[in-house]
Structure 1
């Protein structure tokens, strides 16, 4: 999921779904998420460590660690980590993926419910997760948990909700039939603008300074099975009723097979945003 401007996205989503529904949002997609969601480019992980000036024995709080995709990248560098994950299925996967890291502790709770530890952490990391946190709580609680000069590190992997346009044109009728809410093609520029606004919002809340932002574009090719599995982890598809999602995927698969398409190229857009606590 790619966030819109924080207040817009969160307030809209929270007004429709209860806290319990949000906590269980990825329950049915947890295994798929762990399997196919892209990892964060090592180049951006390295830059995050540099920009945040993390010492070798840094202590990191991760907010919404999911199955531990970004966790492993930081744990590999020997940092001590406390990782919060409200979804039980995701939490179990994170524990499995981090068994080799004794300095990593996975806690099954949300950032909002977590008992605040003041000025303990060198950095707070949120990898495609901070848009799930109420802005009114998230920024102030993050600032309070950080040591003096500590950093908020936001990582994003923007995943297009449609295939490349030439392929989408073949599939448009299927979308119109089974998921009209997804029928309008979303341009990549929309995702980029949303991420840029999210970074600016970090500064606008007045608790952080010196926003540094870097981005990386890269490509991957997925089999049809993996591509549809990837789509199943995106919120616009999770929102669909199960029978509609299954019918949509069956329709997409049939049209792709008819056109002899056996793989889908995906253009990823990864972003790093680092800001220092005031």
Structure 2
């Protein structure tokens, strides 16, 4: 099990390191696994999407700016409401996948650029959406630029799918394999540590002084993977060692 204080220190360092990467490095980070990311990563539960829309008081003519849409894992779910969406994605592979996945939604526009490079459209959006992406944005612009893009009384919707973990008894069976082939997976976070991760994000939002009336909700999900699909999931996770990715892809 992870030691919570030490884990959180390492986690914050990891988050800051990724957000501080050279833009070109961040732009291509997921390119080797782009094709499997959309299907392998857990999608967002419908009840969570519905709840987000209700809390943000979005009607069908609302406009949404999505920061880092990836291949469209959350984009499609929100596009089904008929919203006008401008979706920013710097990774070219994800950009093409998002275009394909959203081609039946004419009010969705995918822009192949980074949030840093995107020309600000001030006070144009009823909501800004970040789904498993917001921690990739440099902290010096993460909240201020988002706040500037929102209409008065706009909403920031942040979604995270934390790293899927098997039940602890299953993990105990897998631990020997993890130690041999992918040591980073030998760490078991558990619900307490994952909740602490979310609290860290919550505090950062409050500390930005850009937003108020924070609402936090969590949904526990259970997903069943085949062996092949589980291996695909593992190679999409940033903490997999390069040699382990090679073994998983064989």
Q: Mapping of 1:1-278 within 5 angstroms?
A: 8-14=13-19, 17-160=21-164, 162-237=165-240, 240-241=241-242, 243-247=243-247
More strand by share: 1
CA distance in 2, matches of 1:31, 1:217: 26
The alpha-carbon deviation at position 176 of structure 1 amounts to 2.2
- C-alpha displacement of 1:246: 3.1
Instruction: Output the TM-score relative to the length of structure 1.
Output: 0.81
Work out which structure has the larger RCO, using CA pairs closer than 8 Å and 6 or more positions apart in sequence: 1
C-alpha root-mean-square deviation of aligned residues, in Å? 2.1
Rate the CA distance shift 1:108–1:249 in 2: closer, same or farther, 3 A: closer
Report the 3-state secondary structure (helix = DSSP H, G, I; strand = E; otherwise coil) of the residue aligned with 1:158: coil
Task: Quote the Cα distance in structure 2 between the aligned partners of 1:9 and 1:156.
Answer: 16
Stretches of structure 1 that go unaligned for 5 or more consecutive residues are: 251-278
| TM-superposition CA deviations, 1:181-232 (whole Å, max 9, x none) | 4323222321221112202211211010000111111212111111111111
- Per the alignment, residue 260 of structure 1 pairs with none
3-state SS in 1 of match to 2:172: helix
**Secondary structure at 1:222 match in 2:** coil
Tell me if the contact between 2:231 and 2:248 (Cα under 8 Å) persists in the aligned partners. no
More displaced 10-residue stretch of structure 1: 99-108 or 49-58: 49-58
* SS of equivalent to 1:102: coil
The CA distance in 2 between the partners of 1:182 and 1:37, in whole Å, is 16
After superposition, the C-alpha distances for 1:91-112 in whole angstroms (9 at most, x for unaligned) are 1000001111111000011111
TM-score by length of 2: 0.90
Contact 1:83 1:105 in 2 (8 A): yes
Pairwise CA distance, 1:4: 6.1
Residue in 2 that maps onto 1:265? none
Kept after mapping to 2: 8 A contact 1:112/1:138: no
| Structure 2 gaps, min length 5 | 1-6
- Out of 185-194 and 113-122, give the one that drifted further: 185-194
Shift of 1:87: 0.5
Q: CA separation in 1, counterparts of 2:180 and 2:85?
A: 46
Cα shift at 1:14:
4.5
1:139–1:207 Cα contact (<8 Å) kept: yes
Query: What SS does structure 2 have at the residue aligned with 1:236?
Result: coil
